[in-house]
């Protein structure tokens, strides 16, 4: 009897608690990708009709936020020597402010007066409501030429000017053959050419890993179903379609880790150079091995965090004990580009560095606080995630071209080795140049750097 | 029952104002939707662009849930204004009454335009919560009310984001985008009120 009473009491408590905790449930398609409700032909016609306006709005947004003009640094090229590095702070200030006046205000003052430059705020996907992978034109054209595979979308184009993306195709440096330098021969690695380019340079295990990384598999926007954004039934996407030559071509997507769709922030493709020293993977997921990452991205049709929808399009489940380690071993031999001014400790060699670079290193290690996370000794990583709390500086919940701008929360520390090769910057590519990143952290960390200190930091980062 | 059907003249005025606003496209807004969520038979204003007041399933789901949530906000706030003796709680409740009543009118206009049936009283979940809150007093009431407000505003914030991303009607998405910063501010305010009710080491001054 006592037991019955206790059970009844528990039910009462549980039901009253439930009523308090769960007032209302959200719709399932706030989490799950919905099925299309219209035939592909109609969706495609509407998407194509919208496209000009979609691109116009994003261009307007970029121009409001950023100076997109061609202003390269003199005598500064990316590692392959084929593309110039863009200079200058490109984020536009709000009217009536200067970088110094802004830096003298508190975060509260900046937020309450709406003075945070819009270019510092989260960058929307070119079409936020649809999202998905978007490739730059050079990648689309080269894959079409070599493989006759279509990476072009009918609803959107790549939105950033080519000036602010990495050189293409990027050089490839191997940890197993530092003496050879760039082994790409100026080619983009594809399923068609990898074997003749790499046999004799790689082990059989590495070659098989490379083959898998270059094999297309269904992706949410590139597949055979009506839920796709390629005009033809697509063979899919490969790992290296974004991580071109194991670096990045600035292809972008949205974070798989956030819902609903409007809150999913943009993701700029990260370089795989130096992956061997990286202990956590994914901007938000903190996956503990590249094996986990490699396997799991095949599970959710590349970065949508939705295994349910991916299942319908044909998931690829590489064998964990055989195929995944081969893919991982291939990724783990990709080196950073040479940095001849760096010592084995990650510090500058005073006999080779300029006075400005050395001054920049001092700022990096001291007043700039950069080395608190970007530790020189460990490839400028700390294998942690950190929250910059940018939301101290702006009112959250504003919508910008479909993206609801919310606190980013903790984001993985990215390496600064070879950073000159990897524009645009930050996890979503919101910043176009290295001088932009200096102004960003000057404000966010309250550093109050002088102009010579800022310039020395840029010079230092070019040497990394 | 807080939802009152607004006079048709007001409906017309709001519709005209909203249409005028929608004509000046700006990157500061919800942007274009995914046509994969546009149901068959949707009229278009121009090629690819759904005409105003053409609601998709997400719009309707949003309107139904937002109406329930918005009604409850005001009902609960009025209860708190009567029941609470805590200054911070009363001030919060007064703000909820004031600001949600205004939003409710606008949501009701869209619900009417979407042809949703008018909602009578609280939905069962909120009614059960209301019944439970009505039996509490003093600090227990304050804590339960503010807890429920935090949960409701968390849901409402996600719901507004859902509409911004998945909805179709440009004006309704615009309303969701306009309301979201305020709802997040309410949530932060409710968190602050909760901190005054439950002093902990973390918020000790």
Contact B163, B59 (CB under 8 A): yes
Confidence of residue A240 (pLDDT cuts 50, 70, 90): very high
Cα of B180 to nearest chain A Cα, Å: 6
Q: Which residue of A has its CA nearest to B178?
A: A398
pLDDT at A163 over 70: yes
Q: What is the mean pLDDT of residues B85-103?
A: 95
- A 58-97 residues with CB below 8 A of B? 58, 60-61, 64
Terminal alpha carbon distance of chain A: 75
pLDDT at A15 over 80: no
B57 contact residues in A (CB cutoff 8 A): 37
pLDDT at B4 over 90: no
d(CA B92, CA B77): 8
Cα of A139 to nearest chain B Cα, Å: 25
Does residue A309 form part of some domain? yes
Cα of A32 to nearest chain B Cα, Å: 11
What the block records as the tokens of A68 is: 């997109």
Does residue A226 form part of some domain? yes
Q: What is the mean pLDDT of residues A267-278?
A: 97
Q: Which residue of A has its CA nearest to B60?
A: A27
Does residue A32 form part of some domain? no
Residues comprising chain B, all counted:
205
Contact A24 B152 (CB under 8 A): yes
Closest CB to B147: pick one of A20, A57, A261: A20
Number of alpha carbons in the 13 Å side-chain half-sphere of residue B22: 23
Query: Looking at domain B53-197, which of 1.20.1260.10, 2.60.120.380, 1.10.1060.10, 1.10.287.3240 is its CATH number?
Result: 1.20.1260.10
Q: What is the mean pLDDT of residues A227-251?
A: 97
pLDDT value at residue B28: 84
pLDDT value at residue A384: 97
Residue A188: give the domain boundaries.
Answer: 60-462
Q: What is the DSSP letter of A404?
A: E
d(CA B150, CA B129): 14
pLDDT value at residue A107: 98
pLDDT value at residue A294: 86
Best CA proximity match to B171, nearest among B84, B94, B113: B113
Q: Which residue of A has its CA nearest to B61?
A: A27
pLDDT single digits (tens) A121-132 = 999 999 999 999
d(CA B156, CA B162): 10
Q: Which residue of B has its CA nearest to A49?
A: B48
pLDDT value at residue A12: 41
Best CA proximity match to B64, nearest among B21, B29, B110: B110
ipTM: 0.93
Lowest mean pLDDT among A140-144, A161-165, B36-40, B165-169: B36-40
The answer, for A127 touching chain B at a CB cutoff of 8 Å, is yes
Cα of A29 to nearest chain B Cα, Å: 8
Closest CB to B164: pick one of A22, A262, A395: A262
What the block records as the tokens of A89 is: 């702070």
Does residue A195 form part of some domain? yes
Q: Which residue of B has its CA nearest to A397?
A: B181
* Mutant choice from B26, B31, B63 vs A, greatest count of A C-beta within 10 A: B31
Lowest mean pLDDT among A383-392, B45-54, B169-178: B45-54
pLDDT at B164 over 90: yes
Contact A21 B151 (CB under 8 A): yes
pLDDT value at residue B10: 40
Contact A162, A78 (CB under 8 A): no
The answer, for A100 touching chain B at a CB cutoff of 8 Å, is no
d(CA A44, CA A42): 5
Contact A296, A287 (CB under 8 A): yes
B143 contact residues in A (CB cutoff 8 A): none
pLDDT at A18 over 90: no
pLDDT at A81 over 60: yes
Contact A74, A94 (CB under 8 A): no
A400 contact residues in B (CB cutoff 8 A): 27-28
Confidence of residue B102 (pLDDT cuts 50, 70, 90): confident
pLDDT at B203 over 70: no
Domain count, chain A: 1
Q: Which residue of A has its CA nearest to B141?
A: A20
């Amino acid at each position: 009897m006592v037991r019955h009473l206790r059970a009844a009491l528990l039910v009462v408590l549980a039901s009253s608690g439930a009523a308090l905790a769960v007032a209302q449930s959200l719709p399932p398609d706030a989490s799950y990708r919905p099925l299309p409700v219209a035939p592909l032909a109609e969706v495609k016609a509407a998407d194509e009709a919208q496209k000009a306006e979609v691109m116009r709005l994003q261009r307007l947004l970029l121009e409001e936020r950023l100076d997109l003009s061609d202003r390269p640094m003199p005598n500064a090229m990316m590692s392959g020597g084929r593309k110039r590095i863009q200079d200058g702070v490109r984020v536009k200030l709000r009217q009536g402010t200067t970088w110094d006046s802004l830096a003298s205000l508190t975060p509260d003052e900046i937020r309450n007066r709406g003075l945070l430059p819009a270019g510092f705020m989260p960058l929307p996907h070119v079409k936020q409501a649809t999202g998905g992978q978007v490739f730059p034109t050079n990648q689309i054209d080269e894959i079409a030429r070599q493989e006759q595979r279509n990476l072009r979308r009918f609803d959107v184009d790549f939105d950033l000017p080519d000036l602010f993306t990495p050189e293409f195709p990027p050089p490839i440096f191997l940890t197993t053959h530092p003496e050879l330098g760039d082994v790409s021969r100026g080619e983009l690695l594809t399923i068609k050419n990898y074997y003749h380019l790499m046999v004799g340079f790689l082990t059989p295990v590495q070659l098989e890993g490379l083959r898998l990384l270059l094999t297309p598999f269904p992706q949410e926007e590139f597949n055979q179903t009506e839920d796709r954004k390629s005009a033809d039934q697509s063979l899919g996407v490969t790992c290296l379609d974004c991580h071109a030559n194991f670096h990045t071509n600035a292809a972008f997507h949205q974070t798989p880790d956030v819902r609903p769709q409007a809150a999913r922030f943009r993701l700029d493709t990260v370089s795989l150079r130096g992956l061997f020293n990286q202990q956590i993977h994914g901007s938000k997921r903190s996956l503990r091995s590249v094996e986990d990452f490699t396997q799991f991205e095949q599970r959710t049709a590349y970065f949508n965090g939705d295994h349910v929808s991916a299942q319908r399009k044909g998931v690829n489940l590489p064998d964990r004990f055989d195929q995944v380690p081969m893919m991982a071993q291939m990724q783990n031999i990709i080196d950073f580009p040479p940095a001849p001014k760096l010592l084995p400790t990650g510090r500058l060699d005073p006999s080779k560095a300029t006075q400005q670079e050395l001054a920049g290193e001092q700022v990096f290690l001291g007043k700039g606080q950069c080395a608190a996370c970007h530790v020189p000794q460990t490839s400028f990583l700390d294998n942690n995630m950190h929250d910059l709390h940018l939301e101290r500086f702006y009112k959250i919940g504003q919508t910008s071209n479909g993206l609801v701008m919310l606190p980013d929360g903790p984001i993985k520390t990215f390496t600064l080795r070879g950073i000159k090769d990897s524009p645009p910057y930050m996890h979503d590519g919101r910043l176009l140049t290295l001088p932009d990143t200096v102004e960003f952290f000057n404000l966010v960390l309250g550093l109050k750097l002088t102009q010579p200190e800022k310039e020395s930091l840029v010079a230092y980062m070019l040497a990394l | 029952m807080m939802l009152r059907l607004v006079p048709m003249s007001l409906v017309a005025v709001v519709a005209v104002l909203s249409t005028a606003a929608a004509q000046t496209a700006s990157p500061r807004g919800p942007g274009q939707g995914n046509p994969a969520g546009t149901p068959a038979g949707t009229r278009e204003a121009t090629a690819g662009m759904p005409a105003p007041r053409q609601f998709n399933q997400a719009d309707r789901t949003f309107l139904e849930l937002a109406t329930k949530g918005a009604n409850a906000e005001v009902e609960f706030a009025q209860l708190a204004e009567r029941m609470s003796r805590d200054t911070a709680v009363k001030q919060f409740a007064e703000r909820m009454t004031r600001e949600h009543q205004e939003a409710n009118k606008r949501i009701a206009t869209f619900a009417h335009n979407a042809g949703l049936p008018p909602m009578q009283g609280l939905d069962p979940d909120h009614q059960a919560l209301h019944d439970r809150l009505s039996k509490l007093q003093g600090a227990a009431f304050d804590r339960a009310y503010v807890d429920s407000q935090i949960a409701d505003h968390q849901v409402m914030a996600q719901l507004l984001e859902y509409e911004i991303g998945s909805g179709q009607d440009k004006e309704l998405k615009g309303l969701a985008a306009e309301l979201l910063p305020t709802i997040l501010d309410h949530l932060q305010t409710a968190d602050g009120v909760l901190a005054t009710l439950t002093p902990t080491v973390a918020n000790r001054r």
